[in-house]
Amino acid sequence: MQLRIHRFLPKTSVEGPGARACLWVQGCLIRCHGCFNPSTWRASGGQVVQVGDLLNRVVRISGIEGATFLGGEPFDQAPALAALAQSVQDAGLSVMTFSGYEYEVLRRADRAGWKDLLAATDLLVDGPFVSSLPDHQRPWVGSTNQQFRFLSSRYRHLADELGSIPDRLEVRLRRDGTVLINGMASSAVLDDLGSAIGRRQRQTQGGFVAASTLG
């Protein structure tokens, strides 16, 4: 079984509760107005990886409590991602999944793997990114229309704590000068950061991922 991915980050602390592996899938059919990461849209972009290889990488990472799937659109590759999510849970780790589809659509649509991916997700964030509704109160999400769905008991305790969890960014500088950024922040912070590294960084639902080269 294969997945087309945009980026894999072995450990991050800004894409959900605690330290997590994070997988940005490649391909998105939703194409929200206001999505500033269209490089994740093309279904033929990114790279193809085996689900088994990804699972082996995830379970060998020390000190993570789970994995986060975002995109792109995870439910556009639901069968393969559901298999990965179930195996991640079987390994004792949690699964957080972002989707631009709304929960009622995900629940009711008879699409391959959708119910399986929901069943293997502990915490779902659903709904498209709407740039006119920026969310400055809750962590990890881009806009106020997006909802947290506690699909298992694992993170239900967070329901009343979301307002006290700050958005944060991680910035990684590679040896070749490439800057990789992920996480979530206000537009003002993103603008300042974008100016500082020479190119405006762009925000997507469920965190943003961007790369720019210093120079």
**Residue 205 is a binding residue for ligand SF4 (CB under 6 A):** yes
**Residue 54 is a binding residue for ligand SF4 (CB under 6 A):** no
Using alpha carbons only, what angle is made at residue 137 by residues 69 and 157, rounded to the nearest 5 degrees? Answer: 65
Placement of tokens 């993170």 in the chain: 155
Here's the x/- map for ligand SF4, 157-186, by CB under 6 A: it reads as ------------------------------
Q: Among residues 36 and 65, whose Cβ is nearest to ligand SF4?
A: 36
Using alpha carbons only, what angle is made at residue 43 by residues 38 and 46, rounded to the nearest 5 degrees? Answer: 75
The DSSP bridge partners found for residue 94 are: 66
Residues 64-123 contacting ligand SF4, CB under 6 A: 71-73, 100
Options 17, 46, 66, 128; binder of ligand SF4; rule CB under 6 A: 128
Options 12, 97, 146, 204; binder of ligand SF4; rule CB under 6 A: 204
> b or e along 175-185 (b: 16 or more beta carbons within 10 Å of the residue's beta carbon)?
eeeebebbbbb
Kindly report the length of the chain.
Answer: 215
Q: Among residues 115 and 202, whose Cβ is nearest to ligand SF4?
A: 202
Phi, psi dihedrals of residue 38, rounded to the nearest 5°: -65, -10
Shortest gap between Cβ of 91 and ligand SF4 (angstroms)? 27
**Residue 32 is a binding residue for ligand SF4 (CB under 6 A):** yes
